[in-house]
Every structure is written in structure tokens, then in C-alpha cells.
A and B are shown apart, each in its own frame.
Chain A
Amino acid sequence: MTPLAGGIADWVGLAIALPFAGFLVNGLLAFVAPRRRALVGAVGVGSVVAAFLVGVAVFLALLAAHPAEPYVVTLWSWIPAGRLQVDAALQVDQLSVVMLLAVTGVSSLIHVFSLGYMGDDPGYARYFAYLNLFVAFMLVLVLGASFPVLFIGWEGVGLCSYLLIGFWFEEREKADAGLKAFLVNRIGDAGFLIAMFLIFKHLGSLDFQAVFAGAPTALAPGGATVTAIALFLFMGCVGKSAQIPLYVWLPDAMAGPTPVSALIHAATMVTAGVYLVARANVLFAMAPVASAVVAGVGALTALFAATIGLKQWDIKKVLAYSTVSQLGYMFVGVGVGAYAAGIFHLVTHAFFKALLFLGAGSVIHMMHRAYHHTGRHADAQDMRNMGGLAAYMPWTARAMWVATLAIAGIPPLSGFFSKDEILGAAFARGAAQPFYYVVWAFGLAAAFLTAIYMTRLMLYTFHGPNRTGEAERAHLGEAPGVMTWPVVTLAALALVGGALNLPHVGTLEHWLDPVTEASAAFLPALAPAPGVEIALMAAAALIGIGGIWLAFRALHPETLLPPERAPRETGFARLLLEKYRVDEAYRAVIVRPLVWVARNLLWRGLDAGVIDTAGVNGSAAVARGLGWLGSRLQSGQVTSYLVIFVLGAIAVLAALLHPSLSAVYHLWAR
């Protein structure tokens, strides 16, 4: 009997039920009373804040008990099918509670921000309904006690992501962006499903506890089975968490409202892949090859996305590529066995990236309003139209500088500690496998680029002369309080979040020990030797400072021209601006041939040609013809009816009497 039984932990389902109820109420209001904004807002924010309070209560209970085993709350039997027994069950343990707090906490702040950001939108109630539904599904994802329950949340957040990216579906481009996200994610999800099939085939269960307890004995460490399972799982993560080669949907996903980008496409949903690897740490630790792939893909993505971020002009695109890059870091962390470090970076990233997106949202909101007042049609997200905004939006600018320093890894802000721990763990593993030195070097290079592109974003947006336009300038100003104070709150968290897991104190690391200890036997998290550690920390800090210094030296906001008059980029800069033309390459190599085969062979050839013409229409024509023949017999004449009747009677009589008549015949014949 675990000490959690009978307490608040049994009610952890409330954390899901509350936002879901909010979704139902707001969904109803969207139809019956879309103008009741106050009510919609109260339900939307209230349900998520209540879920956060449930999360805090569960956390306190867990803190008091600190059980070695996860506490599973079984709600009902979901799939009782022979050997496959899946319960709708939730799992309370150290990892799920961290995620529960991070998700509900950040969600609460972003919901509050949305009150202001979406204030004028006609789809206000629909927006909050989707957002509440997202929180409910995200909590199913992090609280689920088995792979199928997690998968429900996994697909559910994908659905909400799709709905919210295409929230302004009247614009073709935005609806298409939603579709792209949905389709690209399907590729990854196919991998996830295959992984589940393999797990069930080899371990006979899909419950986390049974799988992770059974794997070390039932599967050979480093064997083909466990490697395949881990790699297929990672395929799902690559889709959901936007890693190479499936990252292409995330930058397009910025078509949705900016708070959505902050919540779903920066702080929570996209980190689900990292959570999944951390959750299944036993499986990954048993498959060194798969772990190396995770770390390698993460490092490559971190560097690759950071280079694209260098040349983007759209403020949200910069942040989008930055998110892809930071997600790469997290995968490096969980790939080298530093699961706690990966989760640590996930949490701090949630703070500072949510802040950056919300700040960018405030900026876009004010830019939009200014252009709306003067009736000018200019891109409210292009940094070349901004500049000097610090004078108009001082609080937003200050908060965003905090986040910039955090993401650039400047001590003692949160990002410094989480990033340093990941790089340190990668370096330490390099002693045994030199491959990880490459991973470490990639990470360091990406950190350098991160400092440059974030400083570039800040310089172009908030400093130098203003390029918005004479008439518009009068309408610029600080965003309303309901939007500013969530930003400032997040700034405080980004500032001190590093305290969660200081080097050598390792609060979070020890907290997560019960979850990760099973994997430590296969892939222990290594730390560099004390002297080396100091050197690495210094190097990381210098790299960050160097990046910022370089950006200040090389970039000149004073000389920047608005987009209409800007000269065309050339050479490598152009290639970066066009994002290495990966989308175009995918289109040419995958999409076009696929569509061609589908259209010409499958549709026109097989479906329209063979099935429709010969099969469907042909058989329909035959049936119709026979029916017509039958109805010709219906002459209306009673005599003809009688003839048919008698013929039928003869047939029935013959059928019944035939054997006995033949018997009689044989009797005579003898």
C-alpha cells in the first residue's frame, strides 16, 4: 500500500477533467453565446488555474511520500481484449508531476495573456475551447500510465495543434499550414504505433510499469529488438518534436495565434518527444545505438536550425527555428543518458521560450494595432518594420532581454545551467566514445549561433531607430497589463529557474532518481571531472558572451532598411533565408512523385478506370437492367399473376415430392 492511496493523488484525474469541462462549456458557448467574453474568459482561465492548483496539491502529496514506485490511479478498464488489457489509468510519479506542474503553470499564464491578445477576435470562445481541450490532452499525455493512454494524449494534442494552427482558416495559407503539421506528424506517429506493436509482441503488455520492469530481463541489452523499439519510438518523437528530417512543419505552424505558438509550439506539445524518451529511458538506455541516434539527430538539428535562425526576418520564424534548435539540445541530453538534464532544459526552455513568444506576441499585437489605426498594410511580424520599440514597450523589452540572456546561456540565468549540464554530460561520454565529442562540439557551436541570432532579434526589434512609419508611431505603446504581467512573471522564472538543478546540488536530478534509476545500470549519466567541469562552464559562458558581443559589433540596426527597399540577399545568406530550400526538395523528391502516382495510377487508373467503371457502375447497370426486366412482368393482369403463382406452386410441390415420387417410381419399376 503506497502512502499516496486515499489522498489527493487519487484525484489527479481532476487536472484533466477540469480543462476538459472548460472545453465543453466554451465549446457550447461558442455556439450559443459567442459574445459572452467575460464568461468565456473566466471559464477558460479558471479551469486551467484550477488544474494547476490540483497539480500543486498532488506535488505536495508526492513530496511528502516520495515513493520509489509510481502510483497508478486506474479509472476504468478501457481495452479488455484477450491478452491485451489496457486500463484508462493515470500515473503519478516524480516525472509526471514535474510535467504536470510545468504544463499547467505555463498554460495558466498563457491563458491569461490570451485574454488580451485574442480580445477582439470573433472566434474568442472557439479559441478558448480549443486551448482548454489542448491542456486536457496534454495532461493525458504526461499523466497516462501506459503507451496507449499516452498515445491518446499524443494524438489529441496533435489535433488541437492542427485546429489552432489553422485557427484563422479563412486564409488558405494558414489552413494549409495546419494540414502540413497534421500530415508530417502522421509519419512519426506510424513509427510510434509500430513501436507499440513491437513492445506488446515482445513484452505482452503496454503498461509503463510492466514494460519497464520486464524489459531488462525479457530483452537482450543492445539487441536488435530493443534497438528497433527505441528507434521507432524516436521516429514518433522526431515528428512531434520537430527534429531533422521532420522539423519542416514547426516553422509553418507559426501561422496560428502567437499565444498558441508559445504554449503548443514552444513550451509544451513539442517537448512531448523529449518526455517520451525520458519516460522510456530504460528502453533507450538498453539500446546504445538508438541513444547515439537520438543524441546525433539532436545535435545536428540544434546546429542546423540555429543557422537558419540567423537570417530570418519574421520575428516568429526566428523563434520557431530557435525552438527547433533548443529541442535538439534536449534530445542531446536524453540521448547521452542525462535524462534529468533533458527534462531540466525542457522546463527552463518552457519558461524563457514561452516568454519570448509572448513578448513577440505583445510586439505583433501593438504593431498590428498601429497599422490597423492608419489602415496601412505592412507585415506586422517583419523585424525590418520594427526597431526602437524598447522606448514604447519598456517592460516587454526588459523581460525579453532576460529571456535572451537565459537562452544564450549567460550565468546565472536558468538557461546557462540547463544547457551546461547537457553539454557537460555529452563531453563526459566522449571520453569513451569520441562520437560524443562531435555532439558536444555541435552543441557548443549551436550555443554560439543562438547568442548571435537572439541578440540580432533584440537589436532589430527594440533598438536603433524606429522603422514602423511616421503615422503609425503615435499608436505604439506598451501592451495592456493582462498581457504584460504574465510576461514579467515568466521573466522572473527564467531568471531563477536554474535553482531547480544547480550543479552538485542537483535537486531535480535526485527528485527524478526513482524514474531513471532503472536505466542507470545500462547508461549512467556521466559528469565530467571537477576541473574539466569548471573549464567547460567557463567555455560555455564565454561562448554565449562572445556571441552577444559579436552580434553587437557586426549588426547595425541604424542601417537596416524596411522590407520594400531592402536589397536582395545573395550567396549563403540567401540560402539561409530560404531555409536551405528543404521544403522545395521535399516537394520535388517526395510530394510530387507521390501525388503523381496517386493521381494517375491509383485514382484515374485503378479507381476511376477499373473499380468505378467495371465494378461499381457495371454491376449497378446489370442490377438495374434485371430490375427493369422484373418490373415488366408486373403487368397488372390477374391472370398473368395466377400463371406465375401456379408455376411457383408446381416448383414447390416438385421440390418436396420429388424424393418420394421417385421412391414410388422405383417401387413400380421393381
Chain B
Amino acid sequence: MLLLDLDRGWGLLRAMAPETLLTLWALALLLDAAWHHRDSGAQRRAGWLALAGLALSAAATVWLWASGAAPAGLSTTIALDRFRYAVDLIVLVAAALAVLLSVEYLDREQLRIPEYHALLLLATVGMMLLAGGEDLFVLFLGLELMSVSVYVLAGLDRRSPASAEAALKYFLLGAFASAFLLYGIALLYGATGSTKLQIIARQIGPLGLLTHPMLLAGLALLLIGFGFKIAAVPFHMWTPDVYDGAPTPVTGFMATAVKAAAFAALIRVLLEAFSDVHALWGPVIWWLAAVTMVVGNLVALAQRSVKRMLAYSSIAHAGYLLTALVADSMAGAAAFLFYLLFYTLMTMGAFAILALKGRGGERDVMVDDLAGLGEAHPWLALAMAVCMLSLLGFPGTAGFIGKWYVLVAATGAGYPGLAAILVVTSVISAGYYLPVVMAMYMKPQAHERAHAGVLVPRIAGATLAVMVAALLVFGVWPNRVLDAARAGSHAFIPRAMTAAVTPLPPAGAP
């Protein structure tokens, strides 16, 4: 057990080792990129360096987890709990996948921009702050660091008007949402006198704030701000346009890591600071989840373009994740972590395969264009089929287990109605996932060279293979990951329960 005093520099530095290391690494990478910008292959080298940085940060995270670091007193800046580490690792994995799937893509699309990788790392730092922040300002800082980096990444392809439009739209609407969030933080500070989550939690009861309009308005504005980042309906309108316009690996990164980090922050805020007023925010999240699942799935049905379909699919999945959140329980947090990990893999995989099939932003790839892929590229089609079935929640894939645990958490917490909506909308989602599989295997190629342009480069191919294997293996053997997810959810043992648990005597005590 490692006790860290977060009020002193050295303790804080060690508690934030993963973030600190990654920031320094990103800055060094930026310098390197400035120096070698014109070199051919600079982009590739930057990619490998970024991977090394991510590995370093992951190692630091694992070290913190393994050393059992705990704060001396309240943790008021950054959390030292397994939920943070688990989300950190998921985000780092997502970033590493994005790097692996981008390296060859950027070469192919003639986007020789080494800074891409530095931006990716900085966005990741922001996400890690979101996962661990114990102070609303730390969370806001992380959110902005992440958002600004991603605005730039979305507009990376300067020759593409769609990419520029995506970046601008994302920025405008994102600024709008950030204002809501910031105003919410201000109101909460006004109501409770603090921006620190654990202190807010302790203030609500004694100050009699349970129905105080200032607190409630602040909470509402906070929900709206986060609702934008996780693309919950009705704050989702930007998503299809931005996802559609951004370069595909960036889209994959946005749909997984960005969403994961924003979700993690939302969960931390709600379960740590506002667990006592669950009766107030519970119904709001309930409705957000229901509307998000219904709208996301229904509108996805009407899409012909694969990229837009996947964009709406990721909206629908935000609804499933919100369902896990409504439960306001450890089971819900565990289901959330498990689902998040495999949602990341399957969504990233689907976007990566789309990137291999299309050209120039992949906006023009229709579902019917995949016809006959099963014959022309059997392995690629298999990978896509696994991703689609897993997104659908087909038994035998990790997506099924994830959905199952979300359902168990929701019904266990007494929300059978929401569970029913989840099941019904999942059935609807078969209406747009299965046509992809059907097109690949049951329709002939449009012409003989319909898939002639599809080349599977080595790195992307190997990465995809590992992802698909993980989806299948953990679909039938999920126990290890489930245990890890349960451990991660222990961060949110309800306070009433922690009080009841008496600490064990030290091992060496006579």
C-alpha cells in the first residue's frame, strides 16, 4: 500500500505519473516533428514513438494499480482508484489502436503530418484527466485539452471540404456545450462552496441542498455539457456530420476514446458527488438513455452510407452505456467498464475496415458497395462480420456478454422498462448491422474488380486480427475481463457501505 499525499508536489507528481509522462512525451514528439517535418517517413517514426509513449504511460498506470496507491486523506485533485486505471487503460488501448490503424492510412491518403500523433497523445492526456479528475476544474481542463486536440484532428485533411466542415461544426457546437458545462460548474460552486467532488458530496446533505434550485440547475447544465460529448440524444446532432467528415481513423478514435472519457467523467461526477440525489438525476438519465437508444437505432436504419450508419450506431451505443449508468450501482459501473472495452474494439474495428475499403474519407462507401467482399477478401469480410455481430450483441461475441451485463445491471437496479427498450432497440439494430453481413456474403460483386482497390497493409491487418480474436475469445470466455471490471467498479462502493466495512488489521500485526 502506497500512501500519497496529494497536497505536496512529489506525491501529486507520482499520483499523476501516467499523465505527466505522456504529456512530456507528446511535447518531445512535437519537437521532433518540428525538426523532421520534411523527412519522408517522419510520420511513421512519429507513430512508433507515440506507441512507445502510450506503452510507457500504460506501464505507469499498471504500476499505480499494482502498488495499491491510496491518498492520505481525501483525494481532491486526482483519484487513486481502479476505475481511473481501468478507464485509463481502455483509453490508452484505443489511442494505440488509432495509431496502429492510422500509420498506413495517413501514408495512403498522402497526409504526411507527424504532428498527428502528438495531437493524439495530447488528446489522450485530456481523456486520462477526465477519467481521474476529482475536481470539476481538473475535469474541465481535461475536457478542453481533449476537445481542442480532437477539433484539430477532425480537420486534419485540409484538402477535403467535408473535413474542414466537420472541424468547424464540432468546434462551434463544442464551444457552445463547454459554456453550459462551465456555467454549471459555477452554479455548483455557488451552491456548495467547492468544486471538489468529494466535498460537494459531503455538503449536499448538511447544507440542505437536496432541492436547492442552484444546485439542481448546476447539475442540469453539467448533464447537458457531458451529454454533448457523449453524443446523447438530443445533444447528438453534430455527431453524424462530424464523424462523417473526419478522416476515418480519427472518427474511430472519436467514437470510442472521446466518448469513453466523457462517460467516465460523467459517471464519476454522478456517482461520487451526486449519489445522494440519484432520485433527481436518475429519471433524467433514464429518459436520455431511452431516447438515445430509440433515435440512434431508428435513424441508423435509414442510412445507406456505412460511415453514417456507424455514426448513428455509436449514438445508439451511448444509449446502452447510459443504461448501465442509470443503475447507479457497482454492477452498473462494472457492466459499463466491460461494455466500454469491447465497444471500443468493435467500433474501432468497423471503422478500420471501412478505411481499408474506401478512399478519400470513405464517405461514399454505401452498404451495397460491400457486396461480394466475402468472396474477394474472405478474412476482411470475416473481421467485418464479427464486428457487426458483436455490435449487434450476437451470442458468442463479446458484444453479447457486454449487453447481457448491462441488462442484468439495469433489471437488478429495478429498471425493467429500460431493459425492455434496450432489447427492442437491439432487435431494430439487426436491421442495419445484418445488411452489411448480407451484402458481403450473399450478394455478388458489382463487377469483377469491385474490390480491386482493397489492400490490407501489414500493420492494420495484424491489429485487426488481434481485435477480432479478442472479440471472439472474450465472447466465450469473459471471466477474466469481468473480474477486472468488477475490481474497477469498487471505486464506487456506496458511502453507507464503506462506513460499515471495518478495515482489516495489518498483515504483520501480532
Contact = CB atoms under 8 A, between A and B. Distances in A.
Interface in B206-256: 211-213, 216-217, 219-221, 223-224, 227-228, 233-235, 237-238, 240-241
Nearest to B177: A645
B280 interface: yes
17 contacts: A620-B431, A627-B299, A627-B302, A630-B298, A631-B302, A631-B303, A634-B241, A645-B177, A648-B234, A651-B234, A653-B217, A656-B216, A656-B219, A656-B223, A660-B211, A660-B213, A663-B211
B431 A634 contact: no
A659 B211 contact: yes
Contacts of A623: 298, 301, 428, 431
A284 B220 CA distance: 75
B298 A645 contact: no
B433 to A, nearest CB: 14
B284 interface: yes
A624 interface: yes
B287 interface: yes
A636 B299 contact: no
Nearest to B238: A641
A588 interface: no
A141 to B, nearest CB: 30
B173 A638 contact: yes
Given A634-B240, A656-B219, A660-B216, A648 B280 contact: no
B180 A649 contact: yes
A657 B281 CA distance: 11
Nearest to B215: A660
B172 A648 contact: no
Most buried by A among B212, B300, B428: B428
B443 interface: no
Contacts of B281: 656
A172 B45 CA distance: 64
A319 B165 CA distance: 83
A656 B172 contact: no
Contacts of A660: 211-213, 216
Interface string B268-301: 0000000000001101100110000001001111
B169 interface: yes
Contact of B241 (A630, A636, A661): A636
Given A657-B217, A660-B213, A645 B283 contact: no
B302 A664 contact: no
Interface residues of A, number: 31
Given A642-B173, A645-B173, A657 B213 contact: yes
B379 interface: no
Interface of B: 169, 172-173, 176-177, 180, 211-213, 216-217, 219-221, 223-224, 227-228, 233-235, 237-238, 240-241, 280-281, 283-284, 287-288, 295, 298-303, 428, 431
A647 interface: yes
Interface in A496-535: none
Given A642-B176, A660-B211, A652 B301 contact: no
A638 B233 CA distance: 16
Contacts of A642: 173, 176
A641 B235 CA distance: 8
A655 interface: yes
Contacts of B173: 638, 641-642, 645
B302 A645 contact: no
Given A620-B431, A627-B301, A638-B169, A657 B220 contact: yes
Contacts of B240: 634
Contacts of A624: 301-302, 431
Contacts of B228: 645
B164 to A, nearest CB: 14
A391 interface: no
Contacts of B237: 633-634, 640-641, 644-645
Nearest to B301: A627
Interface of A: 620, 623-624, 626-628, 630-631, 633-634, 636, 638, 640-642, 644-645, 647-649, 651-653, 655-657, 659-661, 663-664
B353 to A, nearest CB: 24
Contact of A648 (B221, B224, B303): B224
A620 to B, nearest CB: 7
A647 B234 contact: yes
A663 B212 CA distance: 10
B216 A657 contact: yes
Contacts of A627: 298-302
Contact of B302 (A620, A628, A656): A628
A648 B221 CA distance: 11
The 7 closest A-B pairs by CB, nearest first: A648-B234, A627-B302, A641-B237, A630-B299, A627-B301, A627-B298, A656-B220
A630 B295 contact: yes
Nearest to A626: B298
A382 B227 CA distance: 81
Contact of A630 (B221, B302, B428): B302
A634 to B, nearest CB: 6
Given A623-B301, A657-B213, A663-B211, A652 B238 contact: no
Nearest to B291: A648
Most buried by A among B228, B235, B300: B235
Contacts of A633: 237
A630 B176 CA distance: 23
B180 to A, nearest CB: 7
Contacts of A645: 173, 176-177, 228, 234-235, 237
A207 B188 CA distance: 68
A641 B170 CA distance: 11
A278 to B, nearest CB: 41
B119 to A, nearest CB: 24
Contacts of A626: 298
A657 to B, nearest CB: 5
Nearest to B225: A649
Given A623-B431, A645-B234, A656 B217 contact: yes
B213 A664 contact: yes
Nearest to B218: A656
B284 A655 contact: yes
Contact of B284 (A641, A644, A656): A656
Nearest to B213: A660
Contacts of A649: 180, 220-221, 224, 235
A584 to B, nearest CB: 41
A633 B300 CA distance: 13
Given A630-B302, A631-B302, A638-B169, A652 B223 contact: yes
A652 B220 contact: yes
A207 B228 CA distance: 61
Given A626-B298, A648-B234, 19 more contacts: A623-B428, A623-B431, A627-B299, A630-B295, A634-B237, A634-B240, A641-B169, A641-B173, A644-B234, A645-B234, A647-B234, A648-B227, A649-B220, A649-B221, A655-B220, A656-B280, A659-B280, A660-B216, A664-B213
Most buried by A among B212, B237, B287: B237
Contact of B224 (A636, A652, A664): A652
A647 B227 CA distance: 13
Nearest to A648: B234
A303 B315 CA distance: 73
A634 B302 CA distance: 12
Contacts of A655: 220, 283-284, 287
Nearest to B294: A626
Contacts of B220: 649, 652-653, 655-657
A652 B217 CA distance: 9
Contacts of B221: 649, 653
Contacts of A657: 213, 216-217, 220
A39 to B, nearest CB: 30
Nearest to B165: A636
A239 B238 CA distance: 66
A636 B242 CA distance: 10
A618 to B, nearest CB: 13
A117 B213 CA distance: 91
